[in-house]
Amino acid sequence: MTLDQPQVWTIIAALAVGTYFIRWSFLGLLGDRELPEWAVRHLRYTAVAVLPGLIAPFVLWPTATNGETDPTRLIAALVALTVGVWRKSAVGAILSGFGTLYLLQYLT
């Protein structure tokens, strides 16, 4: 796949600067200022609010199968999620997901 090169570099640069600024914000600039409780309460959920919605379409309609729902990938994803939640383990999710995918691909 070919990407728009200037766009890729713009994103890398802006993401680097933006992320660094977020990390530096209170420590380097704003100092000993309490974040209001309501802000912390919302910040706690920012990552978990973005990531699941971002990946759901890719799990349901994979690019590799041109958007056709693929039972093997779907089952492998469900296994990965279940193991990840149950064992609270990211490595467990990765290994069980790929393991299931390869097993199902071998069997079918």
Binding to other proteins in span 85-104, by CB under 8 A? 85, 88-91, 93-94, 97-98, 101-102
C-alpha torsion 106→62→97→54, nearest 10: 180
Q: Does residue number 58 form part of the binding site for other proteins (CB under 8 A)?
A: yes
The answer to whether residue 69 forms part of the interface with other proteins (CB under 8 A) is no
Tell me the closest approach of the beta carbon of residue 100 to other proteins, in angstroms: 10
CA nearest to 80, candidates 102, 63, 62: 102
CA distance 54 to 46: 13
Q: Which is nearer to other proteins, 38 or 71 (CB)?
A: 38
Residue 67 found at the interface with other proteins (CB under 8 A): no
User: How many residues form the binding site for other proteins (CB under 8 A)?
Assistant: 73
In this structure, what token pair is assigned to residue 85?
A: 């939640």
Q: How far is the CB of 40 from other proteins (least distance, A)?
A: 6
Decide: 84 and 72 in contact? Cβ < 8 Å. no
Q: Which two tokens stand for residue 91?
A: 């490595």
Residue choice 54, 66, 71, 107 for contact with other proteins (CB under 8 A):
54
